Structure 1
Amino acid sequence: MSDQIKRVGVIGAGNIGLGVVSDLLFHGFDVTLVDKQEAILSDARKEITKTLRFASIIDKRLKPVTDEKELAERLVVTSDLNKVSECDYVIENITEKRNLKLGLYQELDKICREEVCFAANTSCISITEIGGWTNRAGQILGIHFMNPSYLKMTVEVIRGDYTTEETLGVADMVLKAMGKDYVVVKDFPGFVSNRVSHLFMNEAAFVVQDQLASPADVDKIFKECFGHKMGPLETADLIGLDTVVFSLEVLYESFQDPKYRCCPLLKKMVAGGQLGKKVKRGFFDYK
């Protein structure tokens, strides 16, 4: 772990945020997790504790963290954003909505020490745009963690137009301490991974909507014919169908290209509360 980065602030206790917190704890960082909803935070601590105890069964490289006293000291779970004033680095994971992110970054800019860098774990919003919401545009980049973070060894790093070499260097230290490789890409909405993957998931939803095949059969084709570890619809469920819809809306707004038009079935499912794995019901049931 870098001597310069000891405590990391993670904003947002959704699926990806919880994976990032666990990943950081596995690799020796202390973490302050912030979310506005107390009920979510209560469940978050339970999920993180479970992951720290049992993830090593899946990946032997992960050393279990079972000492409750140690975990209590290293993990702060709070709804008070001001607690990130004590952090040396911040990773943001909140809902993919511009107005929410804008307000958050303006607050973080005031709360955090001026030398602290921010990593936006955004799906599609431009890093240069996010930097423009603050007085530290050079200290902001994107780190696109895949889900679950602690099982993925490579991330996508997005360099905004004003991101400095020093900021890239800090991210390099953090990611190396987490045992991760990374690919640096330039900044444009959706970057590389989500410009491609969201088209993939969206078109799979259109296939189901048009009754060409069931969700299970769509995913079977991609897993057994193409060798993908997960099918596009299983992936969408894991990410959260609401997050997929929000991201497609950002892509459509950014490019004004009809290829990013969100599948009506996806919108219908989200409106009906079928958000994917996090609520145990999406294209597949997880009960």
Structure 2
Amino acid sequence: VILPCDIGIDKIKSLNPKGIILSGGPETVIESDTPKINKALFDTKIPLLGICYGMQTIAQELGGSVIQSEKREFGHANIEKISDSKLFDKIDFQENSLNVWMSHGDKVSTLPNNFNAIAKSENCPIAGFAHSEEAWFGLQFHPEVTHTNEGIKIIENFVYKICNCEKNWDITDIINGMKSYVASKVENEKVILGLSGGVDSSVVAMLLHQCIKEKLTCIFVDNGLLRLNEVEEVLDTFSEVGINVHLSSTSDLFLSRLEGIKDPEKKRIIIGNTFIEVFEEEA
């Protein structure tokens, strides 16, 4: 479940989570009007993993210090393991070094009471920390991105070994759940979808077709700005799988409205508004 940073503590308790990950963000905890962790969260004893900004707000709210780094980091860095931690269980620190992805301008300079550093880097002496008794952890680097070696394993350690969650689903469960939800909402109605031929609308079209079959009609607008043979390729691709696609050949309309326009932003607005107009008319 993904929730906003200002969610109330009562709502969090009602969900009875096994663990909470506090994500990174573009703000700085040094300023007074930026998002902070609700201190009441610590009273719940729920396992916590703070990533980047999430680590910094844990440190600050529990009495540690966060300062602006002398050197901002954005890119690859090598961290060194200082002490053992469940987060690093079976993580391959080759010669005690792990390549990770950093993206921060602030850093924790003083640990709160009962916290220990578990990792460091050349520019960040506290690149990871852990509470000595509670299941509270912080990482200055980003394990959630592919640029961090074994980052997914670190997150899995938190989810499965620290929070004791069970993996009782896979991606097909999500797809089947979505299909059942759509079918129950549509029932005997019909659905129209704006199809561009791009990844997003194409995936939606395929999933909807699996859910509601002939109840789906896609509208594909030829605005005169498509790649060579793209119209034919889109129509052929979706006809092969049995999806009903209605072609709206309105290139003359789009091109006439763009004639003489040089400003890119004005072009964008004209194209967007014309798309809406054409789509509504075709629908």
TM-score over 0.5 for the alignment? no
The two structures have a TM-score, normalised by structure 2, of: 0.23
More strand by share: 2
The two structures have a TM-score, normalised by structure 1, of: 0.23
Structure number with larger C-alpha Rg: 2
Q: Greater RCO between the two (CA within 8 Å, min separation 6)?
A: 1
More helix by share: 1
